[in-house]
């Protein structure tokens, strides 16, 4: 295990849009395939700690997007649960055109994007964004394009680690944690 990556405040504050790959980043890359009465079912396993990190990113005003090259109802359910701002499922895995389109729509530059990936379908995007990031178990080709390599594996807290690295570098982490703790101490309806 290598040391946790460190990000400078200036680079961290430039980020307006965090975009995540799904398989191998939000999951461990495993896919459970089944057939129930002729209906194809696909399941993935997500990390709950990652979800909380994404919540804190959104609280800090950072836009969060998910771009995947594999179409799955599971991803739509998880994206809705996390209330991510943008979800693109492109079965052709053309992630860079999808990202360019989102950036154009929201008036965000690619230099203001942080992208977290793990493998070859991410290389084109990693080469173009302002802050290219890979998970701890990324393939060598993807890792070569990254400015930050996380220590945690995809599906096992890598996204949470990145959220914390980014928000700490922006000097926002402690206040967001406090806000979360306070929010959980409130009695609903009062």
Which residues contribute to the site for Mg ion (CB under 5 A)? 21, 23-24, 118-119
d(CA 64, CA 62): 6
Q: Give the residue at shortest CB distance from Mg ion.
A: 24
Nearer to Mg ion, 47 or 119 (CB): 119
113, two tokens: 């994007």
Least spacing, CB of residue 118 vs Mg ion, in Å: 4
Taking residue 89's Cβ as centre, other Cβ atoms within 10 Å add up to 17
21 or 28: whose CB is closer to Mg ion? 21
Distance CA 20, CA 52 (A): 15
CB of 178 to Mg ion, least distance (A): 33
Q: Considering the complex, state which of residue 22 and residue 165 has its C-beta at the smaller distance from Mg ion.
A: 22
In the complex, least distance from residue 5 CB atom to Mg ion, rounded to whole angstroms:
19
Instruction: Give whichever of 150 and 169 is closer to Mg ion, judged by the CB atom.
Output: 150
Nearest to 16 by CA among 135, 150, 124, 115: 115
| Contact yes or no for 50/66 (Cβ under 8 A) | no
Distances in Å between the Cα of 117 and the Cα atoms of 105, 133, 144, 172, 176 are 22, 6, 12, 24, 25
Residue located via tokens 């360019």: 100
Measured from the CB atom, is 118 or 172 closer to Mg ion?
118
Least distance to Mg ion from the beta carbon of 58, Å?
A: 22
Q: How far is the CB of 124 from Mg ion (least distance, A)?
A: 13
66 vs 169, beta carbon nearer Mg ion: 66
**Count of CA atoms in the C-beta half-sphere (13 A) of 73:** 7
Report the nearest approach of Mg ion to the CB of residue 24 (Å). 4
The Cα 149–Cα 33 span in angstroms is 30
């Amino acid at each position: 295990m290598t040391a946790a990556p460190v990000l400078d405040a200036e680079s961290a504050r430039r980020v307006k849009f965090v975009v995540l790959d799904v398989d191998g980043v939000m999951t461990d890359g495993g896919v459970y395939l089944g057939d129930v009465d002729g209906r194809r079912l696909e399941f993935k396993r997500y990390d709950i700690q990652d979800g909380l990190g994404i919540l804190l990113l959104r609280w800090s005003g950072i836009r969060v997007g998910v771009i995947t090259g594999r179409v799955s109802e599971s991803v739509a359910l998880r994206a809705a649960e996390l209330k991510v701002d943008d979800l693109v499922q492109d079965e052709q895995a053309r992630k860079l055109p999808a990202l360019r389109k989102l950036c154009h729509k929201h008036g965000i530059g690619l230099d203001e994007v942080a992208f977290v990936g793990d493998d070859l379908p991410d290389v084109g995007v990693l080469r173009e964004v302002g802050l290219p990031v890979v998970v701890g178990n990324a393939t060598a080709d993807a890792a070569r394009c990254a400015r930050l390599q996380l220590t945690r594996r995809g599906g096992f807290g890598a996204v949470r680690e990145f959220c914390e690295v980014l928000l700490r570098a922006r000097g926002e982490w402690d206040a967001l944690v406090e806000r979360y703790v306070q929010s959980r101490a409130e009695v609903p309806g009062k």
